[in-house]
């Protein structure tokens, strides 16, 4: 039993008694000690899955039950809106149960109050809103999100007139650097002018040093790179000053400013601290290891130094967000930053408590996690130890498998097969294990995706950073990059060599020759020299340029390397030479190659002229231009709706970005691409919205993005030295980064230090970059780069710990001896080796483990000659062969490799012939037509206009009949829909509200789809949006990382204008106000009649079922949609009920819940009216309504509900 604290000794009710009264499990001794601790500061070190949320909510219940605080005197703060919603739900639900126990509680006879729970940024926002005027902020200062920040900085960078000739840096890179530096300055409370001064001093120090006469190869370039870095960072700091000035002029602030201003209020205005301390007697700070220096200073200024009851909960082993300004060292600083008050009035460090029981993980998974975290516990910081996790009493044994495979291909195949078997397809969907693959970098996704495609294992890529690697999304981005920036030859190469254009090697080399010719001529690409140039003018300019380069020898006096660096394939494509042109190397374009290049150039010019469109419209235009909308629908073995999943997710990201722009700059393509590149560089991505584990697909994401999530089965592949842990890492001295110099960070004491006290410039630069003159490495063993490498290894170890602790019952960890075509064998990751060492103890099952002798002395994939005819037929895929190096041109000695792609041309041509000749095959199942087609196939018959002979054979794994169905489906979906004289293109997915419109007035919707017109801003719509935002805040809101949410900027100053108060009063007086929803605003989608219907349910309430099963199908579920308009009647209400019918069907399918266990209601808050909708349409009826809406009276004769 836990020792009694002074508060617990005098308490009326103990934690164990309250747990029994509330029908909960008894707390562990560790939990009981935290729950019953006194009103003083306390640090709680809580390991992964140790029940910290339950413990925090139990502490609030204990404090309230014993009359120590009232519920509204408690403040809980955490990072994500999902976590805030969960904490608020736990606390207020338990307080509701407490009120029902009949216990004597001081103040219980008064109106029930609720604890306040918010995110760190939301709390800072409230503080700035209420007290900003005290530091000179105008009350109407607005918030801008990340999208708007990128757009504003993009304009500032384009307007910069200073010297950038010393560093060839793309505008998007500079934008990202300024955004990063501005955020770092805010998070560490540093003024950009101070950064500029620091960098100027460092530059002057380097210049003052002599250059050593002991020159070695590359030394000059190394020294130059450090000077370039310092100059470029100074430019960035100047632009940060401009960025702050632009925000001030516009009367706005970003999230960094928000916390910076809040910290300043806390430090400078004593009255605010007094107000907050009197308002909140108890403060709970969740995920404290992820707080930034500014957030630490904010809460120190308000609640530190006085012995206030602040409880910080965190796990230093899960501090993985250093790139956002977080530092594990801040958690260890808590006891001294928030000291407790002694009886004699003195101060002492706050006490430390521990939660070490892991409720999530099985025995062996937990042992593996403890193994990898062991070195993190070896050196206690500030006297605070980090204890290993202990298993829960009822923890299953679980399994950890480790493997070291001969090569990366075999590793991918082994991982996918293990996940396939673990998926338990024979079980009902809701009972199948959830599965995930957590990768260190998203570059690992593609090989796994290829194997999953070949094996037929469904998968889903999560997070924007992972999304960018999906082929169809990468194609769209490539086009956007090319039309935005003519220097992006890298992206043009993807387009040129892709399946659509298939430009051959000879034509590519000729195009490169053309680019070098233009580079020698070096005309600046002005307004008339880009993709939008008039054709005649372009031709004249080309001819003039060709003549000039031929006549002026000086223009030819350049090296091939210089030409290559300055040339642009995009420019060459737009400035194709006259017919008959021959390059200096004797190359020219083939006739077919030239035709394709001219068509592509015209296509890109056309798209370039549309870059002013809103981003979603531009992306849809690119999709249609590339034919991607049809291509993805025709993929074999993938349902049409699922095939668009990744394109739709990318569109959603673009839509979020555009909607964040309130100043009409939502079409800023440069800013959007910079935003995407930031996601690509940050392997963790830009945040995952509303993600829930799936039972029907393997989810692929990065280890960074997995924090806070859990699955039954987790695979962590690629555990090789150099990849996980990686050898490349960011330091502030990286040339193009925007990092704040570490010497200026608030947590600088825990970071490596770049000493600038050296005798020569080479030593000075070498210490920064980890590079030294030959023979000097031993003289300077503790370089800045080596310190940074040790620091990086600790960060990687924490990341591995987070990845391993995501698994409940099965953890798969693997690597391979040979990686790709590398000639040097890989070594097992130190983390994998540590796990493998536990096999004798029974912690892990050691699977295949390849020793070097078995793998061979050389990589079988290195140096082997793989050949394929290229460009290849995209429908059949490449036929890859291994050539004999001794006879590389002897086709007879080539060995074909097994195909991973399934040849499809024969089957598709047969299916297309059937589609052209036969009656249309209905998607819903014209079985007679399909049967006839099958019969024709069996008899060898062919369509009348086909080729004589038997029908071609289908490709392996799929019949021509199957492809015929898919092709007809694609044609049906792409074809215009004629409805009552109005021609529209049917969208691939629609919202639930659009479905209601379609059912209610198909003609009006058809007109809108045929010619989309912007809808005028409606006061009622704004009113509804504001009310929904208020309800979300009331319930605790939903799940995106708060600092990455461009929509988390609700304007609290418009409530009066929108007349929200009457609706808020009506809501608070209703039965819903005191109920705690299981979900708030969960996104849902489902397929009806081949169309994806999407929406967000305002609130989902649950009654009954097993508490430990979040989605227990035996529970009763109620879906609620808040309405702020008038109450409809009769048929209008019946039609509107289709929205609830769609939500009900989607919720049933998503969670495997019987339809009869789900009810749904509209709540018209402006009128205090609740409409429980009975007899909602089911799947078949919704399909009939959809068919009727599309095809009119010919569509199955369905009647409206």
Please give the full DSSP string across 14-82, using - where no structure is assigned: -HHHHHHHTT-PPPPHHHHHHHT--SS-EEEEE-TTS-HHHHHHHHHHHHHHTTSS-GGGEEEEESBHH
Q: Quick one: pLDDT band at residue 872, thresholds 50, 70, 90?
A: confident
Retrieve residue 490's tokens.
């890298």
Chain length of the chain: 1201
741 neighbors 199 (Cβ within 8 angstroms) = yes
At a CB cut-off of 8 Å and minimum separation 6, what does 1110 contact?
A: 1078
187 neighbors 736 (Cβ within 8 angstroms) = no
Q: 613 or 812: whose pLDDT is higher? A: 812
Retrieve residue 605's tokens.
């010019």
The pLDDT tens digits of the residues spanning 338-372 come to 999 998 888 999 999 999 999 999 999 999 999 99
Rounded-to-integer distance, Cα 35 and Cα 866, Å: 65
Predicted local distance difference test score (pLDDT) of residue 1108: 45
981 in a structural domain = no
13 in a structural domain = yes
The pLDDT tens digits of the residues spanning 53-79 come to 999 999 999 999 999 999 999 999 998
1106 neighbors 1112 (Cβ within 8 angstroms) = yes
928: pLDDT strictly greater than 50:
no
Residue 220 shares a structural domain with residue 271: no
Residue 352 shares a structural domain with residue 498: no
Select from 621, 652, 680 the last residue of a domain. 680
Number of domains observed in the structure of the chain: 6
Tell me the angle at which helices 615-626 and 471-484 cross, rounded to the nearest 10 degrees.
Answer: 110
Residue 1177 shares a structural domain with residue 1127: yes
pTM over 0.75: no
**Mean pLDDT computed over every residue of the chain:** 78
225 in a structural domain = yes
Does residue 699 sit in helix, strand or coil?
A: strand
Rounded-to-integer distance, Cα 1175 and Cα 1101, Å: 19
Select from 810, 831, 863 the last residue of a domain. 863
CATH number, position 511: 1.10.486.10
Q: Per-residue pLDDT averaged across 955-972, rounded?
A: 50
Q: Where are the beta strands (DSSP E) in 57-159?
A: 74-78, 116-119, 142-143
CATH number, position 696: 3.40.50.300
| Residues β-bridged to residue 845 | 401
CA-wise closest residue to 1069 among 1167, 1189, 1153? 1167
Q: 1070 or 2: whose pLDDT is higher? A: 1070
User: What are the CA-CA distances from residue 903 to residues 471, 628, 719, 947 (Å)?
Assistant: 19, 19, 34, 20
742 in a structural domain = no
Run of H or E residues at 700: strand 698-702
Rounded-to-integer distance, Cα 57 and Cα 24, Å: 12
Rounded-to-integer distance, Cα 800 and Cα 374, Å: 12
Predicted local distance difference test score (pLDDT) of residue 370: 95
Predicted local distance difference test score (pLDDT) of residue 1006: 52
Predicted local distance difference test score (pLDDT) of residue 1188: 73
At a CB cut-off of 8 Å and minimum separation 6, what does 306 contact?
A: 277, 341
Select from 863, 884, 909 the last residue of a domain. 863
Residue 1183 shares a structural domain with residue 1072: yes
At a CB cut-off of 8 Å and minimum separation 6, what does 1044 contact?
A: 146, 686, 687
554 in a structural domain = yes
Residue 212 shares a structural domain with residue 317: no
Domain residues for 410? 361-379+398-462+691-729+751-758+770-863
State the sign of the Cα–Cα–Cα–Cα dihedral 1008, 1011, 1014, 1016: negative
Q: 688 or 197: whose pLDDT is higher? A: 197
Q: Per-residue pLDDT averaged across 234-243, rounded?
A: 96
277 in a structural domain = yes
Residue 522 shares a structural domain with residue 634: yes
Q: Quick one: pLDDT band at residue 1179, thresholds 50, 70, 90?
A: confident
Residue 958 shares a structural domain with residue 917: yes
Residues of the chain with pLDDT > 90, as a percent, come to 33
Does residue 719 sit in helix, strand or coil?
A: coil
Predicted local distance difference test score (pLDDT) of residue 1042: 34
Q: Per-residue pLDDT averaged across 658-668, rounded?
A: 56
Q: Is 748 exposed, middle or buried (0-12, 13-18, 19+ CB in 10 A)?
A: middle
Residues of the chain with pLDDT > 70, as a percent, come to 74
Predicted local distance difference test score (pLDDT) of residue 682: 52
Transcribe 1118-1129 into DSSP letters: EEEEEE-SPPP-
Residue 29 shares a structural domain with residue 73: yes
1189: pLDDT strictly greater than 90:
no
Tally of CA atoms within 13 A in the half-sphere of 160 that contains its CB: 23
Residue 1045 shares a structural domain with residue 950: no
Q: 861 or 601: whose pLDDT is higher? A: 601
Residue 193 shares a structural domain with residue 277: no
385 in a structural domain = no
Rounded-to-integer distance, Cα 1037 and Cα 119, Å: 10
The pLDDT tens digits of the residues spanning 1071-1113 come to 887 787 888 888 888 888 777 788 889 899 888 765 545 556 6
Q: What is the CA radius of gyration of the chain?
A: 32
Predicted local distance difference test score (pLDDT) of residue 540: 45
Residue 20 shares a structural domain with residue 33: yes
Rounded-to-integer distance, Cα 72 and Cα 58, Å: 15
Rounded-to-integer distance, Cα 67 and Cα 12, Å: 9
Most confident segment among 171-175, 465-469, 851-855: 171-175
1119 neighbors 1159 (Cβ within 8 angstroms) = yes
1 in a structural domain = no
Does residue 983 sit in helix, strand or coil?
A: strand
At a CB cut-off of 8 Å and minimum separation 6, what does 297 contact?
A: 189, 263, 266, 267, 746
Residue 93 shares a structural domain with residue 215: no
378: pLDDT strictly greater than 50:
yes
Q: Is 722 exposed, middle or buried (0-12, 13-18, 19+ CB in 10 A)?
A: middle
């Amino acid at each position: 039993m836990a020792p009694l604290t002074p508060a617990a000794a005098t308490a009326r009710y103990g934690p164990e008694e309250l747990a029994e009264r509330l029908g909960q499990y008894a707390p562990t001794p560790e939990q009981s000690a935290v729950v019953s601790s006194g009103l003083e500061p306390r640090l709680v070190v809580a390991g992964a899955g140790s029940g910290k949320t339950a413990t925090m909510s139990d502490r609030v219940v204990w404090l309230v039950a014993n009359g120590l605080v009232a519920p509204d005197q408690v403040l809980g703060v955490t990072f994500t809106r999902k976590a805030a919603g969960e904490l608020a739900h736990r606390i207020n639900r338990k307080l509701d149960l407490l009120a029902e126990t009949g216990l004597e509680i001081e103040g219980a006879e008064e109106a029930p109050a609720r604890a306040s729970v918010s995110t760190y940024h939301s709390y800072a926002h409230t503080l700035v809103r209420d007290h900003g005027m005290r530091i000179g902020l105008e009350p109407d200062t607005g918030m801008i999100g990340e999208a708007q920040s990128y757009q504003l900085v993009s304009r500032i960078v384009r307007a910069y007139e200073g010297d950038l000739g010393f560093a060839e840096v793309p505008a998007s890179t500079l934008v990202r650097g300024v955004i990063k530096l501005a955020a770092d300055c805010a998070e560490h409370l540093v003024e950009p002018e101070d950064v500029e001064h620091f960098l100027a001093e460092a530059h002057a120090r380097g210049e003052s040093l002599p250059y050593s006469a002991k020159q070695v190869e590359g030394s000059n370039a190394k020294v130059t790179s450090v000077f370039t870095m310092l100059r470029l960072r100074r430019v960035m700091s100047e632009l940060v000053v401009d960025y702050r000035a632009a925000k001030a002029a516009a009367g706005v602030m970003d999230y960094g400013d928000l916390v910076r201003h809040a910290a300043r209020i806390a430090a400078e205005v004593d009255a605010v601290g007094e107000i907050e301390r009197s308002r909140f007697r108890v403060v709970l700070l969740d995920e404290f290891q992820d707080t930034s220096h500014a957030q630490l200073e904010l809460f120190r200024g308000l609640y530190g130094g006085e012995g206030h009851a602040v409880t910080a909960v965190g796990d230093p082993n899960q501090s993985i967000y250093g790139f956002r300004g977080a530092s594990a060292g801040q958690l260890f600083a808590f006891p001294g930053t928030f000291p407790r008050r002694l009886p004699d009035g003195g101060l002492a460090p706050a006490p430390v408590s521990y939660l070490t029981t892991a409720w999530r993980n099985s025995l062996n998974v937990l042992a593996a996690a403890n193994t990898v975290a062991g070195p993190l516990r070896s050196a206690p910081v500030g006297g605070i130890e980090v204890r290993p996790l202990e298993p829960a009493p009822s923890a299953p044994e679980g399994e950890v498998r480790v493997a070291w495979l001969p090569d990366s291909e075999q590793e991918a195949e082994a991982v996918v097969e293990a996940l396939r078997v673990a998926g338990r397809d024979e079980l009902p969907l809701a009972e199948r294990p959830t599965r995930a693959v957590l990768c260190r970098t998203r570059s690992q996704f593609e090989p796994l995706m290829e194997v999953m495609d070949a094996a037929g294992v469904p998968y889903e890529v999560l997070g924007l950073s992972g999304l960018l690697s999906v082929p169809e999304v990468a194609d769209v981005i490539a086009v956007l990059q090319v039309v935005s920036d003519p220097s992006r030859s890298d992206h043009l190469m993807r387009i040129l060599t892709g399946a659509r254009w298939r430009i051959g090697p000879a034509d590519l080399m000729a195009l490169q020759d053309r680019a070098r010719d233009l580079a020698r001529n070096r005309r600046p690409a002005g307004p008339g020299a880009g993709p939008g140039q008039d054709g005649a003018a372009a031709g004249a300019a080309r001819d003039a340029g060709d003549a000039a380069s031929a006549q002026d020898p000086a223009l030819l006096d350049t090296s091939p390397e210089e030409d290559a660096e300055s040339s642009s394939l995009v420019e060459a494509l737009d400035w194709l030479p006259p017919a008959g042109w021959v390059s200096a190397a004797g190359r020219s374009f083939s006739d077919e190659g030239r035709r394709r290049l001219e068509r592509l150039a015209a296509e890109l010019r056309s798209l370039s002229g549309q870059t002013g469109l809103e981003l979603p419209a531009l992306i849809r235009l690119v999709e249609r231009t590339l034919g991607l909308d049809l291509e993805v629908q025709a993929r074999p073995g993938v349902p049409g709706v699922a095939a668009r999943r990744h394109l739709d997710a990318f569109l959603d990201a673009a839509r979020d970005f555009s909607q964040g722009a309130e100043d009409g700059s939502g079409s800023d393509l440069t800013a959007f691409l910079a935003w995407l590149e930031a996601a690509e560089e940050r392997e963790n991505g830009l945040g995952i919205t509303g993600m829930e584990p799936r039972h029907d697909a393997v989810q692929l994401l990065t280890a960074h993005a997995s924090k806070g999530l859990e699955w039954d089965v987790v695979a962590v592949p690629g555990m090789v030295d150099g990849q996980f842990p990686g050898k490349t890492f960011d330091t502030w001295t990286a040339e193009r980064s925007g990092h704040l110099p570490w010497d200026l960070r608030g947590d600088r004491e825990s970071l490596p230090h770049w000493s600038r006290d050296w005798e020569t410039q080479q030593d000075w630069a070498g210490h920064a970059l980890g590079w030294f003159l030959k023979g000097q490495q031993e003289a300077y063993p503790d370089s800045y780069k080596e310190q940074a490498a040790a620091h990086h290894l600790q960060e990687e170890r924490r990341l591995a710990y987070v990845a391993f602790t995501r698994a409940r019952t099965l953890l798969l960890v693997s690597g391979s001896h040979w990686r790709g075509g590398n000639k040097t064998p890989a070594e097992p990751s130190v983390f994998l080796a540590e796990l493998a060492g536990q096999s004798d103890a029974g912690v892990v099952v050691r699977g295949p483990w390849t020793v070097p002798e078995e793998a061979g002395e050389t990589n079988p994939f290195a140096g082997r000659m793989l050949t394929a005819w290229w460009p290849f037929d995209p429908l059949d895929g490449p036929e890859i062969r291994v050539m004999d190096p001794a006879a590389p041109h002897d086709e007879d000695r080539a060995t074909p490799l097994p195909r991973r792609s399934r040849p499809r041309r024969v089957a598709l041509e047969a299916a297309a012939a059937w589609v052209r000749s036969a009656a249309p095959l209905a998607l819903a199942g014209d079985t007679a037509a399909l049967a006839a087609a099958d019969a024709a196939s069996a008899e060898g018959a062919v369509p009348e206009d086909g080729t004589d002979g038997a029908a071609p054979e289908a490709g392996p794994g799929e019949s021509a009949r199957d492809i015929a169905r898919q092709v007809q489906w694609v044609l049906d979906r792409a074809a215009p829909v004629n409805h009552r004289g109005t021609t529209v293109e049917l969208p691939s997915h629609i919202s639930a509200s659009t479905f209601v419109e379609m059912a209610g007035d198909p003609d009006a919707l058809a007109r809108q789809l045929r010619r989309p017109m912007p809808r005028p801003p409606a006061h009622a719509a704004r009113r509804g949006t504001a009310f929904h935002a208020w309800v979300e805040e009331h319930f605790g809101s939903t799940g995106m990382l708060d600092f990455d949410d461009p929509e988390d900027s609700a304007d609290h100053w418009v409530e009066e204008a929108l007349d929200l108060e009457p609706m808020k009063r009506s809501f608070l007086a209703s039965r819903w106000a005191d109920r705690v929803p299981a979900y708030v605003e969960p996104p849902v989608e489902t397929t009806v009649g081949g169309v994806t219907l999407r929406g967000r349910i305002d609130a989902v309430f649950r009654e009954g079922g097993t508490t430990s099963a979040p989605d227990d199908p035996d529970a009763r579920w109620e879906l609620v949609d808040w309405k702020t308009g008038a109450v409809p009647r009769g048929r209008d209400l019946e039609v509107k009920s289709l929205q609830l019918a769609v939500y009900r069907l989607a919720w049933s399918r998503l969670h495997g819940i019987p339809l009869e266990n789900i009810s749904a209601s509209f709540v018209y808050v402006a009128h205090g009216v609740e409409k429980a909708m009975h007899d909602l349409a089911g799947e078949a009826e919704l399909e009939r309504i959809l068919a009727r809406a599309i095809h009119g009276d010919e569509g199955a004769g369905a009647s409206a509900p």
